[in-house]
């Protein structure tokens, strides 16, 4: 057996070591059901990305058992390890690696027990098809998973022992392993989403919020609404607290009629003075961002330091020789407007406050019984539990949060907020489950926006095509207001109820530390080999609209800008865009994905010919967070009145591949969403809040606009797995920017690349 986690090899990530430090027992991660099925416990949640299936594959591979012998359980604060938030493309990298270590420990413990029981050498024992073999001796592996094994502490192993034949990269193309059962159920309409749940003697709830962060309830209008609502059959009660209004009914139709009343007259006096009028014009965003109160810092090769004015960070920080040949330089400014989460599935939650008698029966002198139950599709059930407890005046142990899959998620949507709504409203009818589902106007109007960004880049290269300097300055609100990270709750409803008992001020968005991937500055640090570079990150402290995490955070904008500048330099130097990138990349894995996508798209043949009029090809590349998966994209577009994407070619290196189909699905999904964000999406804002509250006002990519996408995975088996869900976002944006630029012979620097901005670029 290997050492305890405290003495673990340095190759294991800090997150895996932290997982095993907090939960060191096998039983914390792996258990047996009453029917003898191996249960895998995880704190990561299913948000449509296939994590539960991927963890099952990892467990199957390490234990040598079939899928029928495994069950990966949905996360619950009652049983699951606390693995924080399912975000940042870290689930396979962290939770998957932890499960792999736990299963390797169990396999080796079972092999050891089998060897002792049959008096054979442990090197002669192999695990295969759910059984342990040594010569003629055969026994079920599961029969050796005893209470002693489950109660033992996990010890770390060098994965892939001689007795375990390593899978080979050819498995990428194989579908021999079981398919995801949830996909078949979803296609056939059999999958039970949280929106589909039904409970005995349940209640239906509607929670109404002001349209701005600081709207105030009009009691006169509330009284009129309450009088009309109480006349609707099925309505049980109307409640309010601060600016928050709730309706409890016995059937959903009653809520629809109440919702119609709101469409006739608003209940709130909004606060237009808190919304700058210039935000109604996306062309003024850059200037507005730069004029706000800022929290600034500078990033150099030395690390993150207090802000140093651009121009003062220079050759003193250079650590490699600068090419002495004359240089060309380019400067460009880029912007992206506020964009919306725009989930097609509506945020939904269930809440239930237990009656006093229920709590008395369960309680004793040593345990604090839970009082509040919540069912949610939150990305972080423990973080949500913590903020629910804070906002409700409970201990964390008095709140239980169960995860149930929603209809997809790609960032901080309304799941946590609607969970608060359900908890708050269910307090008014204890003993009953209360279901709260946001309306479309809530989903589009209340979910956190992704922050608007402005990025200025100045870069230079020698005539031989080697980068000499690179300086980035960016302005953006922070990219995180998730629950569980501040002293006060980060839940919309908690900000809007009466504050006298438990103050919960509107929070200013923060950025994750750069060591964790960063927020606005994510992927702003160039991966290219550059002797002199710096990044100046200005966090905007003004909060006219709530912002938080959207898939890839600042990487979408930063890679868009960076890859645009790489093509601008290539154009000035009359170099091939692929060549200038390869000239400045020593990382072999980075070079491999670029060479791979060039081969897939026949890039050398493309560069030798001119595309038809109105068509263009573009290249984009990044390593997500500079620590995760590598991805290169080639886009083929046609431009007339608008941009039409004809084809996308993607080559990615996500390390050791767990489930090829799942990884390809994630990469394709990221590319499609990046296409939507880059070409069409922009929030329509006004003094009354978010105006784009319906699909006709907020266009997203439609099925008919999805191009053929070809994905190739490079699988360096010796490399640790990295997440696939966000790696294609930035490179796709960069590839589209460069393809459109070639098609129209003009550079568009402001997203989205829609007809309005196309025309503006041509006129400029």
* pLDDT, tens only, 260-302: 999 888 999 987 666 787 888 888 899 999 999 999 999 999 9
Distance between CA atoms of 762 and 639, rounded to whole angstroms?
A: 12
Q: Within 13 A of 289's CA, how many CA atoms are on the CB side?
A: 28
Q: How far apart are CA 98 and CA 20, in angstroms?
A: 7
Backbone angles phi, psi at 35, to 5 degrees: -95, 10
Angle between helix 415-426 and 381-392 (nearest 10) = 40
Q: Tell me 639's DSSP state.
A: E
Contact in structure between 481 and 491 (CB atoms under 8 Å)? no
The count of other CB atoms within 10 Å of the CB of residue 620 is 32
Question: Residue 185: inside a domain, yes or no?
Answer: no
Distance CA 340, CA 232 (A): 34
Pair 316, 425 in one domain: no
* pLDDT for residue 326: 78
Q: Please state the rounded mean pLDDT for residues 570-596.
A: 97
C-alpha 632/C-alpha 727 separation (Å) is 9
Number of separate domains in the chain: 3
Shared domain check, 262 and 117: no
Q: 3 falls in which pLDDT band (50, 70, 90)?
A: very low
Residues 71 and 17 in one domain: yes
Mean pLDDT calculated for residue range 528-549: 96
Among candidate residues 422, 446, 470, the one where a domain is terminated: 446
Name the H helices within 427-551.
440-446, 492-496
Contacts of 575 (CB under 8 A, 6+ apart): 465, 569, 583
Output the six-digit token pair for 229. Answer: 């609502």
CB atoms within 10 A of CB 205: 28
> Do 290 and 385 fall into the same domain?
no
Residue range(s) defining the domain that contains residue 669: 284-340+450-479+518-763
Report percent pLDDT > 70 for the chain: 92
175 falls in which pLDDT band (50, 70, 90)?
very low
Boundary of a domain, candidates 421, 446, 471: 446
**pLDDT, mean of residues 370-387:** 97
Is position 546 within any domain? Answer: yes
Instruction: Quote the DSSP letter at residue 65.
Output: -
DSSP 124: G
Q: At what angle do helices 97-118 and 14-22 cross, to 10 degrees?
A: 60
How many other C-beta atoms are found inside a 10 Å radius of the C-beta of residue 100?
A: 23
pLDDT of residue 119: 94
Give burial (CB, 10 Å; 0-12/13-18/19+) of 509. buried
Q: Is 504 inside a domain boundary?
A: no
SS3 for 395-434 is CHHHEEEEECCCCCCCECCCHHHHHHHHHHHHCCCCCCCE
Whether residue 438 sits in one domain with residue 472: no
| Model pLDDT, residue 169 | 33
Q: Are 552 and 724 in contact (CB under 8 A)?
A: no
Q: Is 145 left (phi over 0), alpha (psi -120 to 50) or beta?
A: beta
pLDDT at position 610 = 85
Strand ranges inside 116-224, DSSP E: 126-128, 131-134, 137-140, 203-208, 216-217
Residues 353, 336, single domain; the answer is no
Q: Is residue 495 part of a domain?
A: no
pLDDT band for position 2 (cuts 50, 70, 90): very low
Q: What's the rounded mean pLDDT across residues 373-401?
A: 97
> If pLDDT is split at 50, 70 and 90, which confidence band does 6 have?
very low
Residues 460 and 530 in one domain: yes
Q: What is the pLDDT of residue 331?
A: 97
Helix (H, G, I), strand (E, B) or coil at 253: helix
pLDDT at 279: 83
Q: What's the pLDDT band for 11 if we cut at 50, 70, 90?
A: low
Q: Is the peptide bond before 553 cis (omega within 30 degrees of 0)?
A: no
CA 392 to the chain's CA centroid: 27
The CATH number assigned to the domain holding 66 equals 3.30.365.10
- Are both 555 and 698 inside the same structural domain? yes
Which one, of 657, 654, 700, 648, lies nearest residue 679 by Cα? 700
Cα separation of 289 and 544, whole Å?
12
Q: Which residues, in sequence order, are CB contacts of 357 under 8 Å at separation 6+? A: none
| Together in a domain, 316 and 214 | no
Is 233 found in the same domain as 221? yes
Give 608: exposed, middle or buried? Use CB within 10 Å, 0-12, 13-18, 19+.
exposed
Rounded distance, CA 154 to CA 151, Å?
9
Structure tokens belonging to residue 23: 């939960």
What is residue 168's DSSP assignment? Answer: -
Q: What is the pTM of this model?
A: 0.93
Tell me the percentage of the chain whose pLDDT exceeds 90: 79
C-alpha triplet 558, 562, 568: angle, nearest 5°: 150
Residue 488 lies in a domain: no
| Whether residues 202 and 122 fall in one domain | no
| Mean pLDDT on 220-224 | 96
Band of residue 321 on the pLDDT scale cut at 50, 70, 90: low
Indicate the residue among 446, 466, 498 that finishes a domain: 446
* pLDDT tens sequence across 86-139: 998 899 999 999 999 999 999 999 999 999 999 999 999 998 889 999 999 999
> Is residue 334 located within the same domain as residue 253?
no
- Mean confidence (pLDDT) of the chain: 91
Distance, in Å, from the CA atom of 370 to the CA atom of 390, rounded to the nearest integer, reads 14
Q: What is the CA radius of gyration of the chain?
A: 27
Tell how far CA 501 is from the center of its chain. 34
44, part of any domain: yes
Angle at 623 between CA 621 and CA 624, to 5 degrees: 115
Spatial distance between the Cα atoms of 664 and 670, rounded to a whole number of angstroms? 10
SS3 for 66-105, per residue? CHHHEEECCCECCCCCCCCCCCCCCHHHHHHHHHHHHHHH
pLDDT tier, 197 (very low <50, low <70, confident <90, very high otherwise): very high
Q: Measured between alpha carbons, how far is 753 from 638 in angstroms, rounded to an integer? A: 13
Sign of CA dihedral 114, 119, 124, 128: negative
């Amino acid at each position: 057996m290997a050492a305890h986690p405290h003495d673990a090899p340095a190759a294991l990530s800090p997150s895996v070591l932290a997982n095993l430090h907090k939960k060191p027992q096998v039983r914390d991660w792996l258990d047996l059901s009453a029917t003898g099925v191996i249960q895998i416990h995880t704190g990561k949640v299913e948000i449509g990305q296939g994590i539960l299936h991927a963890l099952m594959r990892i467990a199957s591979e390490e234990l040598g058992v079939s899928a029928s012998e495994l069950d990966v359980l949905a996360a619950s604060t009652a049983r699951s390890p606390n693995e924080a938030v399912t975000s940042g493309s870290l689930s396979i990298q962290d939770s998957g690696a932890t499960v792999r270590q736990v299963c390797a420990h169990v396999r080796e413990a079972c092999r050891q027990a089998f060897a002792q029981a049959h008096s054979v050498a442990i090197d002669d024992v192999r695990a295969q098809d759910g059984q342990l073999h040594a010569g003629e001796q055969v026994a079920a592996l599961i029969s050796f998973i005893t209470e002693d094994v489950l109660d033992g502490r996990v010890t770390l192993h060098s994965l892939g022992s001689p007795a375990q034949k390593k899978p080979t990269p050819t498995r990428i193309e194989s579908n021999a392993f079981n398919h995801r059962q949830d996909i078949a159920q979803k296609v056939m309409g059999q999958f039970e989403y949280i929106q589909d749940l039904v409970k005995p003697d349940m209640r239906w709830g509607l929670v109404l919020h002001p349209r701005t962060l600081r709207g105030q309830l009009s009691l006169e209008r509330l009284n009129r609404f309450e009088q009309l609502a109480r006349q609707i059959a099925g309505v049980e009660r109307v409640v309010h607290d601060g600016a928050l209004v709730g309706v409890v009914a016995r059937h959903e139709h009653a809520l629809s009629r109440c919702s119609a009343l709101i469409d006739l007259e608003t209940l709130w006096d909004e606060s237009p003075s808190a919304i700058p009028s210039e935000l109604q014009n996306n062309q003024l965003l850059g200037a507005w961002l730069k004029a706000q109160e800022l929290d600034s810092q500078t990033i150099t090769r030395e690390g993150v330091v207090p802000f140093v004015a651009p121009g003062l960070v220079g050759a003193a920080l250079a650590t490699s020789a600068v090419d002495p040949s004359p240089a060309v330089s380019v400067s460009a400014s880029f912007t992206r407007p506020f964009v919306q989460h725009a989930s097609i599935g509506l945020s939904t939650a269930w809440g239930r406050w237990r009656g006093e008698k229920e709590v008395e029966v369960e309680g004793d002198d040593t345990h604090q019984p839970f009082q509040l139950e919540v069912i949610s599709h939150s990305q972080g059930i423990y973080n949500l539990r913590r903020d629910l407890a804070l906002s409700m005046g409970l201990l964390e142990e008095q709140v239980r949060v169960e995860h149930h899959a929603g209809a997809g998620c790609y960032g901080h949507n309304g799941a946590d907020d609607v969970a608060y709504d359900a908890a708050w409203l269910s307090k008014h009818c204890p003993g009953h489950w209360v279901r709260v589902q946001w309306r479309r106007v809530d989903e589009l109007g209340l979910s956190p926006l992704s922050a608007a960004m402005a990025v200025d880049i100045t870069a230079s290269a020698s005539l031989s095509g080697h980068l000499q300097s690179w300086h980035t300055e960016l302005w953006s609100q922070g990219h995180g207001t998730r629950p569980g990270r501040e002293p006060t709750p980060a839940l919309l409803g908690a900000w809007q109820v009466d504050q006298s008992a438990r103050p919960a001020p509107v929070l200013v968005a923060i950025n994750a530390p750069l060591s964790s991937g960063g927020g606005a500055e994510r992927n702003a640090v160039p991966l290219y080999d550059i002797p002199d570079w710096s990044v100046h990150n200005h966090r905007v402290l003004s909060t006219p609209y709530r912002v938080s995490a959207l898939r890839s955070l600042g990487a979408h904008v930063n890679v868009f800008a960076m890859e645009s500048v790489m093509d601008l330099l290539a154009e000035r130097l009359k170099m091939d865009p692929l060549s200038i990138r390869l000239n400045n990349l020593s990382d072999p894995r980075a070079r491999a994905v670029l060479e791979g996508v060039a081969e897939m798209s026949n890039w050398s043949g493309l560069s030798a010919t001119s595309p038809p009029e109105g068509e263009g090809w573009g290249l984009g590349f990044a390593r997500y967070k500079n620590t995760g998966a590598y991805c290169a994209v080639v886009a083929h577009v046609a431009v007339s009145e608008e941009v039409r994407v004809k084809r996308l070619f993607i080559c990615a290196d996500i390390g050791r591949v767990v489930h090829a189909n799942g990884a390809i699905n994630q990469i394709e999904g990221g590319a499609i969403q990046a296409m939507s964000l880059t070409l069409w999406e922009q929030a329509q804002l006004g003094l009354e809040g978010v105006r784009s509250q319906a699909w006709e006002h907020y266009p997203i990519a439609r099925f008919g606009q999805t191009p053929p996408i070809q994905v190739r995975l490079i699988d360096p088996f010796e490399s640790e797995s990295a997440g696939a869900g966000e790696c294609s976002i930035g490179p796709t944006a960069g590839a589209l920017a460069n393809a459109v630029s070639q098609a129209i012979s003009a550079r568009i620097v402001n997203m989205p690349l829609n007809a309005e901005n196309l025309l503006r670029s041509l006129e400029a």
